[in-house]
Amino acid sequence: MTCKLGPVDRVPLGEGKAFDISGRRVAVFRGRSGELFATQAECPHKGGPLADGIVGGGTVICPLHAYKYDLKSGRPLGNDCPVLKTWRVELDAYGEMSLLMEPA
Amino acid sequence: MKQRLVVIGNGMAGARFVEDLLARGGGERWQIIMFGDEPYGNYNRILLSGVLAQSHEPSDIFINPLAWYEENDIKLHAGVRAARIDRGARVVHGMEGVTEPYDKLVLTTGSRALVPPMEGMKGKDGAPKEGLFVFRTLEDCNGIAAYASRCKKAVVIGGGLLGLEAARGLLGHGLEVNVVHLMGHLMEMQLDARGGALLQTRLEQMGLRVHLRKNTKEILGEERASGVRFEDGAKLGCDLVVVSAGIRPNVELAREAGLLVERGIVVGDDLATTDPHVHALGECAQHRGRTYGLVGPCWEQAQVLAERLSGRKPRATYAGSRISTKLKVMGVDLTVMGAREAVTDEDQEIEYVDKKRGVYKKLVVREGKLAGAILLGEAESATRFLHAFDRGARLPDDPAQFLFPAAEAAGPQGVLEMPDEAQVCNCNGVSKGAILASARGGKRSLKALCEATRAGTGCGSCKKDVKALLESCVGDAPAEDPSVHWYVPGVPLPKPELIREIRLRGLRSVSSVFAVLANGREDAPSKIGLASLLKTIWGKDYDDERDARFINDRVHANIQKDGTFSVVPRIYGGVTTPAELKRIAEVAERHGAKMVKITGGQRIDLLGFSKEKLPEVWRDLGMPSGHAYTKAFRTCKTCVGTDFCRYGVGDSTALGIAIEKRFQGVESPHKMKLAAAGCPRNCSEATTKDLGAVAIEGGKWEVYIGGAAGSRVRKGDVLCVVDSHDDVLKYMGRFMQYYREHAKYLERTYDFAERLGIEKLRSVLIADSEGIAPRLDADIQAAVDAYVDPWSREAAEPVHPAQFAGELKGEEPRLVPLRLVPGVRR
């Protein structure tokens, strides 16, 4: 299953944005070199909004307590929170993003 | 292709050197091969007595297990002795036919126990007598422990540090322990006669028997040791003998290879031997005629050689070590440094002796400075003593003030005395035991330890305690992570060099800094700090990439635990009007603020707004941002001042408003909270603010900097006393600009002021000793001029359509997969 997320510039370069996909909250990230990632929207630590975090080098830092995760694998970095759920995001020739709903 | 670096010796010096080399990126340049005599990873030899005393398991003292070598791509020949060095062919031949070519060779062969010549060391069959041991390796330790279980009475030959450590271990096995020493008092290398006598009394109270001025001539017994005979003919029966009479550098390998060897392997300031391809360091090396037997100098040497061979500082040199050491002798704290006794008539000795408690403090003062000290039976002042010694600080005219500072006696219990379950980091709830376990488990730099445990990563005020715990585990020189000197972790440059490079190469955005100065590697934790620095350097010419801002600075509000935001409008000097209050109240009601709160900074906080609501709330308020969310000038608290207060001597409200109008929005390495007080009663608490002004009689103002009343409490230092509001603004601005340029990221003014010292700040900012004051004044003026209220700017025109967006909608999921165009998948 896939879900269209709209044009890629809905997510500012180097940042993340939260999406509501039929009631499921997903954070979509757009790295500075163009790569796209999607993870669960809430930090497993205290529910912080990961889409508001700092993104860089394929990682995100939660804005609440600076817990860090690898965006591709969802793995926690330097903390022992559970692994984030992740999905793949693809970009078509028209710059439209779509989320692959099978777990990446 | 990598060059080959062979290290012979996997003890504390060798392993430390390799760690230091890796920490400096040396793994990129060198393929590292190590030879170690012992069949395991490396361990902390200082803690061997703990293993013997059964207070430590052997597994507790390992620094790097075998897996560490694998992880770091180090080839370790564990249990393989290096047999010969062929310097012509640059090859090391090991036992069992191992050969390893090298481009550089490092000898860290350490030392072994020195056994003085004695009769009767061997039995009739020529084998060493049973029950006779040296005390140097984990294997010796295990041997002694196993044998001790069958014994009642032990003799330890040697009353130096190592001998006493062995004795402590044996006491732990319930033996009667006799220490036999050649000299007139114990530990004569470290202690004077009085200190030695006091230590002896303490140790005797613990059950140790001490025999001084005894020269052991013979080990008695047929096949197993049954006693010792001294030169004076006296005998002492026992069933276990441990020889611990000193150490001798292992130099045979170097000597056979034709390198210059005296007492140790002779090295120059570059730590190279007489062959430039071969280095030596640690106990086996002799530098400027001295050999060292303590870890401190070994570690200094390891660091210098790592700097050289990693290429970070190819010309680093080692100039010898000032010997100071902090140890525990059988549980008794001992710190010694420099001279033990007065050397010239001008030298002054100051002593304090408390025989009952076994405390001895001695200072050797030369030309007003600390030339040496002994501190026995007391650990609290050790850091202060070492500090004064290392820095050559001038002592007070009355040295008693240095020996007995009033504050120390009243100080709280030190972290070292706390029980393991005590909480050290009160932000993240980390116990002392957890920190110690992590340090013993291999986190040997402060940074690594804090990251692993999260201790010290909240407000940071417990970092000094974490450091003390680390030092207690690894001796007093923890590994230094070079990144602690960098401005941000992802760009390997200290702040002054980083600023120079940024200016030189004209780097105006965070992404360009990563591209040019960090090999293109983007590092998330470094982005915010770089953004702050670039804005300070370039002002309005800064290329503001919004993704480098923390969320608060993207939406100009303060994120809360539930993901909502708080809004704090600016109320200059804390002075408002009924009309303004009404408007705030209406906005709070209309937009459903979940809480309305008076802040500590004399303004009003409206809490609980979603991101989408922010622009509307700002528009309706019609007030500028209070910047309660950013690392910048925050607010200036005031008292009522001269208009109404019957005590006021200076117009603090007018000054506070002027300060706030001038410096609003000026960004800095950390937040700056200010206050102005109209008289020395200091109702607005200006002396404990980052910057403060206090009116004093005579129309003058004291300008304070570096005060704190948060996780730390510190009274600020008086930078200057001036006689007008304009001058308060001038010197505050000058300090702010200097702080913006020189502080580390997230270093508060109070840490900055302490690091530089008020004298230095006065000299630069008031006396203008560096001639930069006019430039500082111009640069802070430029920052003031560049200010635009972000609320009025971005409420009207968001920088991105999604800047204040809440959740974006995705389409309903569809079962038909999209047709993907090849080549554009990312």
Position A104 scores a pLDDT of 47
B13 versus A22: which is more confidently predicted?
B13
Does residue B275 register a pLDDT over 50?
yes
Averaged pLDDT for residues B13-40: 91
Position B477 scores a pLDDT of 63
Position B823 scores a pLDDT of 43
Q: How far is A25 from chain B (nearest CA, A)?
A: 8
Gap between the Cα atoms of B729 and B662, Å rounded: 8
Looking at the structure, tell me whether residues B54 and B98 fall in a common domain: yes
Looking at the structure, tell me whether residues B195 and B170 fall in a common domain: yes
- Identify the CA nearest to B229 among candidates B240, B216, B239: B216
Gap between the Cα atoms of B154 and B167, Å rounded: 9
Burial B593-621 (b: 16+ CB within 10 A, else e): beeeeebebbbbbbbbbebebbbebbebb
* Mean per-residue pLDDT over chain B, rounded: 90
Window from B53-67, B86-100, B199-213 with minimum mean pLDDT:
B53-67
Position B814 scores a pLDDT of 64
Q: Is residue B329 part of a domain?
A: yes
- Using one digit for the tens of pLDDT, what is the confidence trace for B676-700? 999 999 999 999 999 999 999 999 9
Position B96 scores a pLDDT of 83
Which contiguous run of DSSP H or E holds residue B299? Answer: helix B295-310
Interface residue of A5, A10, A11, A15 to substitute, partner B, most B CBs within 10 Å: A15
Contact A20 B808 (CB under 8 A): yes
Task: Give the residue carrying structure tokens 């549980």.
Answer: B331
Looking at the structure, tell me whether residues B501 and B640 fall in a common domain: no
Position B47 scores a pLDDT of 77
- Which residues of chain B make contact with A3, given a CB cutoff of 8 A? 810-814
Domain extent, residue B37, equals: 3-111+249-310
Looking at the structure, tell me whether residues B504 and B543 fall in a common domain: yes
Looking at the structure, tell me whether residues B646 and B735 fall in a common domain: yes
Contact B457 A17 (CB under 8 A): no
Q: How far is A69 from chain B (nearest CA, A)?
A: 11
Predicted ipTM?
0.94
Does residue A54 register a pLDDT over 90?
yes
The share of chain B scoring above pLDDT 70, in percent, equals 96
Gap between the Cα atoms of B63 and B440, Å rounded: 7
Looking at the structure, tell me whether residues B27 and B57 fall in a common domain: yes
Gap between the Cα atoms of B664 and B370, Å rounded: 47
- Which residues of chain B make contact with A17, given a CB cutoff of 8 A? 802, 805, 808
Which residue type sits at B688? T
Which residue type sits at B359? V
Q: In the listed set B380, B413, B446, which residue is the last one of a domain according to the structure? A: B413
Q: In the listed set B531, B549, B567, which residue is the last one of a domain according to the structure? A: B549
Does residue B820 register a pLDDT over 70?
no
Q: Is residue B55 part of a domain?
A: yes
Position B650 scores a pLDDT of 95
- Using one digit for the tens of pLDDT, what is the confidence trace for B571-582? 999 999 999 999
Q: Give the domain CATH number at B400.
A: 3.30.390.30
Does residue B186 register a pLDDT over 60?
yes
- Using one digit for the tens of pLDDT, what is the confidence trace for A22-48? 888 999 999 998 999 999 999 999 999
Size of interface A-B (CB pairs under 8 A): 134
- Which residues of chain A make contact with B521, given a CB cutoff of 8 A? 57
**Three-point CA angle B553, B731, B663, nearest 5°:** 25
Q: How far is CA B278 from CA B92, B272, B295, in A?
A: 11, 6, 22
Q: Is residue B582 part of a domain?
A: no
Q: Give the domain CATH number at B70.
A: 3.50.50.60
Q: Is residue B34 part of a domain?
A: yes
Check: CB of residue B284 under 8 Å from CB of residue B293: no
Q: Give the domain CATH number at B466.
A: 1.10.10.1100
Looking at the structure, tell me whether residues B328 and B374 fall in a common domain: yes
Q: How far is A16 from chain B (nearest CA, A)?
A: 9
The DSSP string of B515-583 is HHHSTT---GGGHHHHHHHHHHHHGGG----GGGS-HHHHHTSEE-TTS-EEE-B--GGG---HHHHHH
CB atoms within 10 A of CB A92: 16
- Using one digit for the tens of pLDDT, what is the confidence trace for B312-348? 899 999 988 877 777 777 778 888 888 888 888 888 9
Q: Is residue B599 part of a domain?
A: no
Gap between the Cα atoms of B802 and A16, Å rounded: 10
Looking at the structure, tell me whether residues B148 and B232 fall in a common domain: yes
The share of chain B scoring above pLDDT 90, in percent, equals 63
N residues, chain B: 826
Q: How far apart are the first and last CA of chain A?
A: 12
Q: Is residue B566 part of a domain?
A: no
- Which residues of chain A make contact with B518, given a CB cutoff of 8 A? none
Q: Is residue B474 part of a domain?
A: yes
Gap between the Cα atoms of B100 and B31, Å rounded: 11
Q: Within its chain, how far is the Cα of B276 from the centroid?
A: 33
Q: How far is CA B33 from CA B4, B41, B298, B312, B634, in A?
A: 7, 13, 20, 21, 55
Q: Is residue B622 part of a domain?
A: no
pLDDT band for position B410 (cuts 50, 70, 90):
very low
Looking at the structure, tell me whether residues B33 and B92 fall in a common domain: yes
Q: In the listed set B287, B310, B333, which residue is the last one of a domain according to the structure? A: B310
Instruction: Name beta bridge partners: B86.
Output: B91
For residues B147, B149, B151, B153, the Cα torsion angle rounded to the nearest 10 degrees is 100
The alpha-helical segments, DSSP class H, found in B591-633 are 614-621
Looking at the structure, tell me whether residues B260 and B213 fall in a common domain: no
Looking at the structure, tell me whether residues B719 and B648 fall in a common domain: yes
Instruction: Name beta bridge partners: B245.
Output: none
**Three-point CA angle B655, B775, B540, nearest 5°:** 80
- Relative orientation angle of helices B495-505 and B510-517, to the nearest 10 degrees: 100
- Identify the CA nearest to B743 among candidates B464, B544, B496: B496
Closest Cα in chain A to B518:
A57
Total structural domains in chain B? 6
Averaged pLDDT for residues B609-637: 96
Task: Give the residue carrying structure tokens 């972000």.
Answer: B790
Position B475 scores a pLDDT of 64
Looking at the structure, tell me whether residues B638 and B759 fall in a common domain: yes
Contact A98 B818 (CB under 8 A): yes
B388 versus B414: which is more confidently predicted?
B388
Window from B10-19, B44-53, B115-124, B158-167 with minimum mean pLDDT:
B44-53
Position B413 scores a pLDDT of 57
- Using one digit for the tens of pLDDT, what is the confidence trace for B46-79? 778 778 877 778 877 887 888 889 989 999 999 8
B287 versus B820: which is more confidently predicted?
B287
